[in-house]
Structure 1
Amino acid sequence: METRERMVMIVDDDAHFVIALEKRLRAAGYRTVTSLTADKAVGKAVDSPPDVILLDLCLNGADGLDVAAALRQEPATAHTPIIFVTGSASAEFKSACAAVGGKYFLAKPYDPDLLLQLLRSVFGTDELTEAQRLSAAKRRQPTGQVGYQYTR
């Protein structure tokens, strides 16, 4: 099993969504890099190629499909998996994404557990990360406290 942390790039113009997603991914053991604008996304991805890109399709003043096409033109990101994030997963949308190499989709609002499962699928492993194992172990440790529940 590979021990290095996977790098996930988040491209979305909703800062609140990005912050929440970043916290969730870091808690699961992933490193993150973000871009709130389409024009900076390609440059950031080329400068420091991520292992996967979460790309919103409706960016302020830009189309996520255009960003995906630009990423595919760059040798550093030509084969980087892209997970398209959208509020609509229609057949037309999936077809447009497939035209730029899209195989993965995440609907907003997203289910955090589904996102982590999707990332494991993209990386070809369903194994738990070290952070997930430690978190699960902490939850199982006895605290020495006894709790009672009273009902009437």
Structure 2
Amino acid sequence: MSNERLLVVEDDEDILQLLTFTLESAGFDVLAASDGRSGLELAMREQPEMVILDLMLPGMSGLDVCKELKRLPATAETPVIMLTARGEEVDRIVGLELGADDYVVKPFSPRELVLRIKAVLKRGAPASAPEPEERTRWQVKGLSLDLEAHRVEIDGEETQLTATEFKLLSELVRNRGRVRTRDQLLNTVWGYEFEGYARTVDTHVRRLRQKIGDYAAYVETIRGVGYRFRE
């Protein structure tokens, strides 16, 4: 059984009850809030392992909550999964740009949501002991990647990446010189296969490029296929 504590911010009482029941049945401890402002305050006070955040909230929108969570040092590394309506693609992309790790479209399958949550939490978990032949440190000029320490340095200065961004960068670097398709990245980084979410990969790559600065040019776009970290 899991003992991770999750915060659900959702203003629809029926959906909130469904989420609470589903997540508690899966072994999680659940905190709940029904508006953005109280959800943000609860996240700051209780420091949950993840926030499941509806976009359409009264008072303070889910996008604003996500922006604040990623701005504040205490919650900047807390994973966020957004709950969105089917027609809110633009808002989903904005949410990913702000630092959300993933999103689930309503109406959603409770089983799918639990799988997504476990996949995101796994990205941020400490790495297991590597096999003797497995390489754990990579250096590309001034870009340093330490898989065991979960640490990235740019020209000697540590750069803060989310768990998803770190796993995306490590997947590209470990396969440097080889093209990784969007489907491959979805499977290895996000931990599942599904259709229609290729924009998720593109948005995270764009955000990753912004964070690695001068080394962004090493992450090449292979038009119509995917991405490659060049030699």
TM-score clears 0.5:
yes
- C-alpha spacing 1:25/1:4, structure 2 compared with 1 (3 Å): closer
Task: Report the 3-state secondary structure (helix = DSSP H, G, I; strand = E; otherwise coil) of the residue aligned with 2:37.
Answer: helix
Paired position in structure 2 for 1:103: 101
Paired position in structure 2 for 1:21: 19
Partners of 1:89 and 1:26 in 2: how far apart? 29
Aligned length: 123
- C-alpha spacing 1:76/1:4, structure 2 compared with 1 (3 Å): farther
Paired position in structure 2 for 1:146: none
Pairwise CA distance, 1:90: 5.1
Q: Any conservation in 1 of the 2:55–2:82 contact (CA below 8 Å)? A: yes
Partners of 2:49 and 2:74 in 1: how far apart? 11
Pairwise CA distance, 1:6: 0.6
Superposed CA offset, 1:52-73 (max 9, x none): 1100000123321001111112
CA RMSD in angstroms, aligned pairs only = 1.7
Partners of 1:83 and 1:14 in 2: how far apart? 17
Q: Which runs of 5+ in 2 are unaligned?
A: 124-231
Paired position in structure 1 for 2:35: 37
Equivalence map 1:84-95=2 (5 Å): 84-88=82-86, 91-95=89-93
Task: Report the 3-state secondary structure (helix = DSSP H, G, I; strand = E; otherwise coil) of the residue aligned with 1:77.
Answer: coil
Task: Report the 3-state secondary structure (helix = DSSP H, G, I; strand = E; otherwise coil) of the residue aligned with 1:55.
Answer: strand
Out of 76, 79, 82, the position equivalent to 1:81 is 79
Paired position in structure 1 for 2:206: none
Partners of 1:4 and 1:25 in 2: how far apart? 10
Paired position in structure 2 for 1:112: 110
Pairwise CA distance, 1:40: 0.9
Equivalence map 1:31-70=2 (5 Å): 31-70=29-68
Detail structure 1 runs of 4+ shifted over 4 Å in the superposition. none
Partners of 2:88 and 2:20 in 1: how far apart? 26
Paired position in structure 2 for 1:124: 122
Q: Which runs of 5+ in 1 are unaligned?
A: 126-152
Task: Report the 3-state secondary structure (helix = DSSP H, G, I; strand = E; otherwise coil) of the residue aligned with 2:82.
Answer: strand
Q: Which moved more, 1:116-125 or 1:26-35?
A: 116-125
Q: Which moved more, 1:55-64 or 1:81-90?
A: 81-90
Partners of 1:68 and 1:120 in 2: how far apart? 20
Paired position in structure 2 for 1:134: none
Task: Indicate the structure whose relative CO is greater, using CA pairs within 8 Å and at least 6 residues apart.
Answer: 1
Paired position in structure 1 for 2:133: none
- C-alpha spacing 1:4/1:117, structure 2 compared with 1 (3 Å): closer
Paired position in structure 1 for 2:9: 11
Q: Any conservation in 1 of the 2:9–2:32 contact (CA below 8 Å)? A: yes
Partners of 1:65 and 1:91 in 2: how far apart? 13
- C-alpha spacing 1:4/1:94, structure 2 compared with 1 (3 Å): closer
Paired position in structure 2 for 1:141: none
Paired position in structure 1 for 2:213: none
Paired position in structure 1 for 2:175: none
